[in-house]
Structure 1
Amino acid sequence: MKIVFMGTPEFAVASLEALIEAGSQIVGVVTAPDKPAGRGQKLSESAVKKFAVDNGLKVLQPAKLKDPDFLADLKALNADLQVVVAFRMLPEAVWNMPPKGTINLHASLLPQYRGAAPINWAIINGEPESGVTTFFLKQEIDTGDILFVEKITIADDVTAGEYHDRLMHKGAGLLVKTVKAIESGRYTEQPQEQLAEGQELKHAPKIFKEDCRIDWAQPVGKIYNLIRGLSPYPAAFTELNGKTIKIYGANKETTAPQHTSGQYETDNKTYLKFACNNGYIYLTDVQLEGKKRMGIEEFLRGQKL
């Protein structure tokens, strides 16, 4: 089959690489336009574009997915199938173009955690497992018929960044399996509506700054999950003596707190802990505004709290 691949970040690169290694014919790659980044505002290429160029693949970078010129270029590739991993929402003119349809790899067990941040929200909500799903795209986002699923446990101490990497590689393998099944015609589709019956669906909307602010009046387990679910990006934060401090790593202690929620205690050498409503959060990996990220002992050497 002729395949057009669509994706932008590092998460998508593993899938594109796996397809190439499996012998798939990639006739084009669609990714985001180059964007200014850094102090010099130099144009920065997406991870997918860098990989595609290094491997001699044709690259399309439309600013608008409904642009007539882009649609003409896409149609000219004459793809049998389109594969989408971590890309924008597609208009019907795009996803309905190839004869075998357009498939998507999503980092959750659909129909649970539809949306932009499934990895983060699964950990924030304390899920014991999540996984990856391949499905056919249709009009409503993340709602198409499911093809294949792979479940992956979520360790109690794993961060979103660590789990992202596990899903990235598992997802790449599942995508290759899906493409081979479509090529051979040996697959079945399962409507998400059937799976959703009797389930309370949880969603994974885009994360905003206020979602990252720690409410120390919450239970220690909930705060701990928030911290690891937002690490390393965008990172949970709180205020410390009038300055914002991002928290990338922490330990929890469930015990009757001796302080009001939000108060901190430190020996100024080895530990800094904040009181919650039923215990303490010990900070282990932090970044104070205007400073670099560092372990807690290094951080305390430079502070007088």
Structure 2
Amino acid sequence: MTKLIFMGTPAFSATVLKGLLGDDQYEILAVVTQPDRAVGRKKEIRVTPVKEVALAHNLPVYQPEKLSGSPELDALMSLGADGIVTAAFGQFLPTKLLNSVHFAVNVHASLLPKYRGGAPIHYALINGESEAGVTLMEMVKEMDAGDMIAKRAIPITDEDNVGTLFEKLAVVGRDLLLENLPAYVAGELKPEAQDPSQVTFSPNISPEEERLDWTKTNRQIFNHIRGMYPWPVAHTLLKGERFKIYEARLAEGSGRPGEIIALSKKELVVATGQGAIALKTVQPAGKPRMGIADFLNGFGRKLAVGDRFGE
């Protein structure tokens, strides 16, 4: 039986961990995840999805704010693990930890060498990619730069957003790992080096990147909105106040970028640099998230064709 330390944080990682727990070839000695955080307006402490899975299986959980130089690092190195598996953990692994095991592999949600970094799914959508995927790779000190063990792609559809792709790719990543890890551990798979000339990056989304640029095409704005949904959520300005747009669809029409060109009890269509989009789910400043019909029935009564978003 192969003894593993598992490291991960979000639901994507939890799916991978569940896969390992369901395979009797592996024993999970410990789980490492990010510290519990206060979330929402009420600042309620929420444990990570990976921690929830670990506790349900009575596994030891380590949550260092920073793994390097921590007491948790020494404890992990003393466990006698054969290897480490990470999936969206969120921290670099110290070299001495990598050197303390026979192997360390990462389940990364992109088709490397494209989209190294913390937000590969967001950028795949924002940039209008036709496919997304998962790469199983060896871990090295440099971010997502290790040799590739296996990869698998799936198509991106217009119905996809960050949430749906995370769910799909979590299953892809789980299966890719379980199918290839035994042969890799046995030395039967030869990893392939990444082509440096093809490397692109997907750093965590900055607040500035959440804002919509209405001069872009309707397809670009549509991709931007779904590339921010369900988090961190795209926004613009409406009558000088922050206005979040969760969901939209492509529409026809023309006008000045950001201009409302069609308005009814159930529809609000906004012109872009080329074409238009119809808003579906929104959140005005100081209000809860709502469908467009509910918005138009309330605050929307103050709007008129010719008003502009972004001003």
Task: Give the letter aligned to residue 95 of structure 2.
Answer: E
User: Who is 1:159 aligned against?
Assistant: 161
Q: Whole-Å Cα distance in 1 between the matches of residues 9 and 293 of structure 2?
A: 37
User: Who is 1:90 aligned against?
Assistant: 93
Q: Whole-Å Cα distance in 2 between the matches of residues 164 and 39 of structure 1?
A: 25
User: Who is 1:203 aligned against?
Assistant: 201
Which one is further off, 90-99 or 80-89?
90-99
Deviation at 1:253, TM superposition (A): 2.4
SS of 2:169's equivalent? helix
User: Who is 2:73 aligned against?
Assistant: 71
Q: Whole-Å Cα distance in 1 between the matches of residues 101 and 237 of structure 2?
A: 51
Q: Whole-Å Cα distance in 2 between the matches of residues 176 and 80 of structure 1?
A: 16
Q: Whole-Å Cα distance in 2 between the matches of residues 121 and 43 of structure 1?
A: 29
Which one is further off, 289-298 or 42-51?
42-51
TM-score of the pair, normalised by structure 1: 0.93
SS of 1:26's equivalent? strand
Deviation at 1:38, TM superposition (A): 4.2
Q: Pick from 210, 213, 232: which aligns with 1:212? A: 210
SS of 1:65's equivalent? coil
User: Who is 2:271 aligned against?
Assistant: 275
Which one is further off, 58-67 or 164-173?
58-67
Deviation at 1:263, TM superposition (A): 1.3
User: Are 1:268 and 1:301, in contact at CA under 8 Å, matched by a contact in 2?
Assistant: no
SS of 1:67's equivalent? coil
- Is residue 35 from structure 1 mapped to residue 31 from structure 2 by the alignment? no
Structure 1 residues 108-135: Cα deviation after superposition (integer angstroms, max 9, x where no partner): 0000011110000001000001200000
Task: Give the letter aligned to residue 93 of structure 2.
Answer: L
Which one is further off, 144-153 or 63-72?
63-72
Q: Whole-Å Cα distance in 2 between the matches of residues 253 and 266 of structure 1?
A: 10
Q: Pick from 91, 115, 129: which aligns with 1:113? A: 115
What is the number of equivalent residue pairs in this alignment? 298
Which one is further off, 220-229 or 66-75?
66-75
User: Who is 1:227 aligned against?
Assistant: 225
TM-score of the pair, normalised by structure 2: 0.91
Task: Give the letter aligned to residue 22 of structure 1.
Answer: D
Q: Whole-Å Cα distance in 2 between the matches of residues 21 and 70 of structure 1?
A: 26
User: Are 2:83 and 2:101, in contact at CA under 8 Å, matched by a contact in 1?
Assistant: yes
Q: Whole-Å Cα distance in 2 between the matches of residues 50 and 280 of structure 1?
A: 43
Q: Whole-Å Cα distance in 1 between the matches of residues 243 and 63 of structure 2?
A: 37
- Is residue 263 from structure 1 mapped to residue 259 from structure 2 by the alignment? yes
User: Are 1:65 and 1:94, in contact at CA under 8 Å, matched by a contact in 2?
Assistant: no
Q: Whole-Å Cα distance in 2 between the matches of residues 19 and 296 of structure 1?
A: 42
- Unaligned runs of 5+ residues in structure 1 are none
Q: Whole-Å Cα distance in 1 between the matches of residues 100 and 94 of structure 2?
A: 10
Q: Whole-Å Cα distance in 1 between the matches of residues 127 and 11 of structure 2?
A: 25
Deviation at 1:292, TM superposition (A): 1.5
Q: Whole-Å Cα distance in 2 between the matches of residues 167 and 48 of structure 1?
A: 16
Deviation at 1:12, TM superposition (A): 0.5
Task: Give the letter aligned to residue 17 of structure 2.
Answer: L
With over 3 angstroms needed to count, the CA separation of the structure-2 counterparts of 1:109 and 1:276, relative to structure 1, is: same
Deviation at 1:274, TM superposition (A): 1.3
User: Who is 2:19 aligned against?
Assistant: 18
SS of 2:226's equivalent? helix
Which one is further off, 107-116 or 174-183?
174-183
Deviation at 1:69, TM superposition (A): 2.1
With over 3 angstroms needed to count, the CA separation of the structure-2 counterparts of 1:188 and 1:55, relative to structure 1, is: same
Structure 1 residues 246-301: Cα deviation after superposition (integer angstroms, max 9, x where no partner): 1111111244x1x2111113434011111112211110111112211111111111
Structure 1 residues 192-233: Cα deviation after superposition (integer angstroms, max 9, x where no partner): 13xx45x4x432111011101111111111111111111111
User: Are 1:116 and 1:204, in contact at CA under 8 Å, matched by a contact in 2?
Assistant: yes
Deviation at 1:97, TM superposition (A): 1.9
Q: Whole-Å Cα distance in 2 between the matches of residues 209 and 289 of structure 1?
A: 16
User: Who is 1:190 aligned against?
Assistant: 192
Deviation at 1:93, TM superposition (A): 2.0
User: Who is 1:4 aligned against?
Assistant: 5
Deviation at 1:182, TM superposition (A): 2.6
Q: CA RMSD in A?
A: 1.6
Deviation at 1:40, TM superposition (A): 4.8
- Is residue 289 from structure 1 mapped to residue 293 from structure 2 by the alignment? no
Deviation at 1:243, TM superposition (A): 2.0
Task: Give the letter aligned to residue 124 of structure 1.
Answer: I
User: Who is 2:295 aligned against?
Assistant: 299
User: Are 1:254 and 1:278, in contact at CA under 8 Å, matched by a contact in 2?
Assistant: no
Task: Give the letter aligned to residue 227 of structure 2.
Answer: G
User: Are 1:244 and 1:289, in contact at CA under 8 Å, matched by a contact in 2?
Assistant: yes
Q: Whole-Å Cα distance in 2 between the matches of residues 62 and 105 of structure 1?
A: 21
